[in-house]
Amino acid sequence: MSEDYRSMWDELGLDPAAHDALLGVLGKAYQEIYLAQKNRPQGMEYFDFVMSEVHGLRIRELLDEKKAGRKIIGSYCVFVPEEIVLAAGATLVGLCSGADFATEEVEKLLPRNTCALIKSAFGFKIGKVCPYLESADMVVGENTCDGKKKAYESLGQLVENLYVMDLPQVKSEVGRSLLRSEYIRFQAAVEKLTGVKITAKSLKDAIDTVNAKRSAIHRLSSLRRANPAPISGLDALLANQVFFYDNPARFTESVNRICDELEKRIADKGGVFPDKTPRILVSGCPQAVPNWKLPMIVETSGAVIVGEESCVGERGARNPTDDSGETVEELLDAIVERYFQVDCAIFTPNRDRVDHILEMVDAYRADGVIHYGLQFCQPYLMESIPVEKELEAKNIPCLRIETDYSMEDVGQLKTRVEAFIEQLS
């Protein structure tokens, strides 16, 4: 960290030794995985700075907002509408998950065969190492799967203000009505928390802010269609990860600055990997900071990742929200419509997701797909086999991977990934 934030972390109740250990591991991993890359866009210096201050400057900004009377709301899922949070004068931040922490203590509360993402969320809380979580005035959970739904019963005993959102699991009119009723309920809860009544103007302004952020990251994604790839999959993933907790306006400006640079690079036919490098689309479970294992393996094995069909990727940012409504009700309907298009694996049937993967393979000129599944994540693991069959029926090579956040299987995964890439060459 560029300055000493220890007193700030102490005030948040973080465990000093555990937090120092986490930052040490995170810094080392970032150095070895990210800073070791060659020919990175100059604009990535901003994201390097963000990561160097991941638990420092951004946390101080959030605490300054709290001192000024603004509320901080933390979430674990793209179904939590940032538009509603911003419209009520609050700030939405993504919460820590993506690494194993305090596993022994977590397994006193959750079964060992709980998915890595859920266990990670608990580990960051129990281990007292996530300043975003400790800064939050409200933590929003959502029942995207049975594991989360039941886990929140236990998390509610650890978190002071846990709000759980119900979500539909069938794309039907009944499902749409459920989502709308839940967003109305969430609106009321956020207004109660902040003491701010959402108006048509505040909601429209919030929609425009979030749309601008999504537009910037979508612009970045679109530029990855070029061959040779103008940016590594690792760097593009980092931008998608920072999407969830950076200041929206600053993030939008920083991503657009990178895109300007990439457009010049594409015009000059420059890339981070040689022409004809095998192009991989990663599909499946989200990859939160610091879960960089798979892209690191892929891009040190002779391929480049050109897209992520993931919540930390296109699934989370691909569709804007219509801002043409004139009333809160009309704008809320537009928000519901936008989020109802998210093709998460919780939905059944989920043909939209398969179609989206096929569209991305074509648009990004991918040579193959790696389906990434976290161990015990039943929705995505259940969908991985039909996805693989659909792709192979269209002669699109697919590799199904099931893993966790540990580094114990890196050697085995690298062997499998290298063999897969070899067949694409």
The pLDDT, as a whole number, for residue 2 is: 44
The pLDDT, as a whole number, for residue 26 is: 94
What six digits make up the tokens of 332?
């809320």
- Contact between 369 and 340 (Cβ < 8 Å): no
Say whether both 377 and 255 belong to one domain: yes
What six digits make up the tokens of 323?
């801002």
Tens of pLDDT, residues 84-110 = 999 999 999 999 889 999 999 999 999
Question: What is the pTM (predicted TM-score) of this model?
Answer: 0.96
- SS3 for 69-136, per residue? CCCEEEECCCCCCHHHHHHCCCEEEECCCCCCCCHHHHCCCCCCCCCHHHHHHHHHHHCCCCHHHHHC
The pLDDT, as a whole number, for residue 327 is: 98
CA distances (Å), origin 236, targets 74, 81, 94, 131: 23, 23, 18, 25
Q: Is the pLDDT of residue 303 over 50?
A: yes
DSSP state string for 319-368:
-PPP---SSHHHHHHHHHHHHHT---TTSSS-HHHHHHHHHHHHHTT-SE
- Contact between 249 and 206 (Cβ < 8 Å): no
Residues β-bridged to residue 263: none
Q: Is the pLDDT of residue 3 over 90?
A: no
Confidence of residue 225 (pLDDT cuts 50, 70, 90): very high
* Cα–Cα distance, 197 to 359 (Å, whole number): 41
Q: Which residues contact 222 (CB under 8 A, 6 or more apart)?
A: none
The answer to the question of residue 308 being in a domain is yes
Say whether both 236 and 288 belong to one domain: yes
Which of 193, 224, 230 lies closest to 364, judged by CA? 224
Say whether both 209 and 185 belong to one domain: no
Say whether both 272 and 364 belong to one domain: yes
Say whether both 222 and 155 belong to one domain: no
Confidence of residue 144 (pLDDT cuts 50, 70, 90): very high
Say whether both 23 and 142 belong to one domain: yes
The CATH number of residue 85's host domain is 3.40.50.11890
The CATH number of residue 218's host domain is 3.40.50.11900
Last residue of a domain, one of 160, 194, 228: 194
Say whether both 210 and 190 belong to one domain: no
Say whether both 208 and 186 belong to one domain: no
The answer to the question of residue 331 being in a domain is no
The answer to the question of residue 176 being in a domain is yes
The pLDDT, as a whole number, for residue 96 is: 86
Segment 389-415 shows an average pLDDT of 97
The answer to the question of residue 329 being in a domain is no
Question: In residues, how long is the chain?
Answer: 425
Say whether both 216 and 154 belong to one domain: no
Which of 260, 256, 299 lies closest to 280, judged by CA? 299
Tens of pLDDT, residues 285-298 = 999 999 999 999 99
The answer to the question of residue 335 being in a domain is no
* Cα–Cα distance, 407 to 415 (Å, whole number): 14
Say whether both 10 and 127 belong to one domain: yes
The answer to the question of residue 405 being in a domain is yes
- Contact between 227 and 266 (Cβ < 8 Å): no
Last residue of a domain, one of 173, 194, 215: 194
Cα–Cα–Cα angle for 210, 214, 220, rounded to 5 degrees: 150
The answer to the question of residue 113 being in a domain is yes
DSSP state, 274? -
Segment 196-209 shows an average pLDDT of 98
Question: Domain range spanning residue 153?
Answer: 5-194
Say whether both 174 and 35 belong to one domain: yes
The answer to the question of residue 417 being in a domain is yes
Domain count within the chain: 2
- Contact between 93 and 114 (Cβ < 8 Å): no
Sheet containing strand 138-142, strands side by side: 91-94, 72-75, 138-142, 162-165
Say whether both 190 and 244 belong to one domain: no
Last residue of a domain, one of 161, 194, 227: 194
